[in-house]
Structure 1
Amino acid sequence: MKVLISGGGIAGPCLAYWLARTRLDIVTTIVERSPIPRITGQSVDVRGTAVDIVKKMGLEEAIKTRHTTEEGTTMIRRSGKGSFARFKAGDVFTADYEILRADLSELFLQATEELSSVKYRYGDCITSLQQTHKHVDVTFASGLKDTFDLVVAADGSSAATRSMILDEPTLTGCYRFLGQYIAFFSIPRQSDDPKLWQIYNPARGLCIMIRPHNNTSTMGVYLCVTTPSHSQRDPVFEEAMEKGPEATKEKLREYFENLGWQAKRVLEGMDQADDFYFTRAAQVKLPRWTGGSGRAVVIGDAAFATFGVGTTLAISSAYILAGELSRISTGDVDIPQALESYERVFRKLYAKMEDLPPGYPQIIFPQSPWAIRLRDFLIWTVAATKAYKLIPGEGGVDFSLPAYEWEDGST
Structure 2
Amino acid sequence: MPAVNTVLVVGSGLAGAATAIRLAEGDVTVDLVEIDPGIASLGSGITLQGNALRELRGLGVWEEVRKSGYGFDSVGLRAPDPAGTLLFEMPDARTGGPDLPATFGMPRPDLARILHDRAAAVGVRTRFGVTVTGLRQDAHHVDVEFTDGSAGRYDLVVGADGIRSAVRGILGVELETRATGMGIWRAFGPRPASVTRTDLFYGGPCYIAGYCPTGENSLYAYVVEDAQDRSALTPEQRLATMRALASAYHGPWDDILATLDDPARVNYTRFETHALPAPWNRGRVVLIGDAAHACPPTLAQGGAQALEDAAVLSELLLGTDTLDESLWSAFTERRVARAAAVVEASNQLGRWLLDREQGDVPGLMGRVAALVAQPA
Per the TM superposition, whether the score is higher than 0.5 is: yes
> Hey, what does 1:96 align to over in structure 2?
102
> Hey, what does 1:314 align to over in structure 2?
306
Q: Please state how far the C-alpha of 1:335 moved relative to its aligned partner.
A: 5.5
1:155 alignment partner, one of 155, 161, 164: 161
**Structure 1 gaps, min length 5:** 228-233, 402-411
Q: Please state how far the C-alpha of 1:212 moved relative to its aligned partner.
A: 1.8
> Hey, what does 2:342 align to over in structure 1?
353
Amino acid at match of 1:320: V
How do residues 267-346 of structure 1 correspond to structure 2 at under 5 angstroms?
A: 272=262, 274-292=264-282, 294-306=283-295, 307=297, 308=299, 309-329=301-321, 334=323, 338-346=327-335
> Hey, what does 1:195 align to over in structure 2?
196
Amino acid at match of 1:104: L
Query: Partners in 2 of 1:207 and 1:352 — Cα distance?
Result: 22
How do residues 56-75 of structure 1 correspond to structure 2 at under 5 angstroms?
A: 56-70=58-72, 72-75=74-77
Corresponding residue SS for 2:70: coil
Q: Please state how far the C-alpha of 1:194 moved relative to its aligned partner.
A: 2.4
Q: Please state how far the C-alpha of 1:82 moved relative to its aligned partner.
A: 2.6
Deviations 1:158-195 (A, max 9, x none): 32322223433xx2x3x2321111232312344x5321
More strand by percentage: 2
Of stretches 261-270 and 36-45 in structure 1, the one that deviates more from structure 2 is: 261-270
Q: Structure 1 residues 82 and 353, CA, compared in 2 at 3 Å: closer, same or farther?
A: closer
Corresponding residue SS for 1:257: helix
- Check the 8 A contact 2:200/2:211 in 1, yes or no: yes
> Hey, what does 1:29 align to over in structure 2?
31
1:182 alignment partner, one of 162, 184, 189: 184
Q: Structure 1 residues 395 and 66, CA, compared in 2 at 3 Å: closer, same or farther?
A: farther
Query: Partners in 2 of 1:354 and 1:254 — Cα distance?
Result: 29
Deviations 1:362-409 (A, max 9, x none): 42366xxxx5xx86xx99xx9xxxx769933425547455xxxxxxxx
Q: Please state how far the C-alpha of 1:321 moved relative to its aligned partner.
A: 0.7
Q: Is the radius of gyration larger for structure 1 or structure 2?
A: 1
Q: Please state how far the C-alpha of 1:323 moved relative to its aligned partner.
A: 1.5
> Hey, what does 1:119 align to over in structure 2?
125
Query: Partners in 2 of 1:148 and 1:390 — Cα distance?
Result: 41
Deviations 1:307-326 (A, max 9, x none): 42222211111111112112
Query: Partners in 2 of 1:255 and 1:185 — Cα distance?
Result: 9
Query: Partners in 2 of 1:132 and 1:213 — Cα distance?
Result: 46
Q: Structure 1 residues 269 and 303, CA, compared in 2 at 3 Å: closer, same or farther?
A: farther
Q: Structure 1 residues 193 and 75, CA, compared in 2 at 3 Å: closer, same or farther?
A: same
- Check the 8 A contact 2:15/2:289 in 1, yes or no: yes
Corresponding residue SS for 1:360: helix
TM-score normalised to structure 2 length: 0.80
1:165 alignment partner, one of 155, 166, 171: 171
Amino acid at match of 1:81: A
Q: Structure 1 residues 5 and 358, CA, compared in 2 at 3 Å: closer, same or farther?
A: closer
> Hey, what does 1:8 align to over in structure 2?
12
**Structure 2 gaps, min length 5:** 96-100
Query: Partners in 1 of 2:374 and 2:74 — Cα distance?
Result: 27
- Check the 8 A contact 1:7/1:153 in 2, yes or no: yes
Indicate the percent of aligned positions where both proteins have the same amino acid. Answer: 21
TM-score normalised to structure 1 length: 0.74
Query: Partners in 2 of 1:359 and 1:390 — Cα distance?
Result: 11
Q: What is the RMSD of the two structures over their aligned residues, measured on CA atoms? A: 3.6
Corresponding residue SS for 2:118: helix
- Check the 8 A contact 1:68/1:213 in 2, yes or no: yes
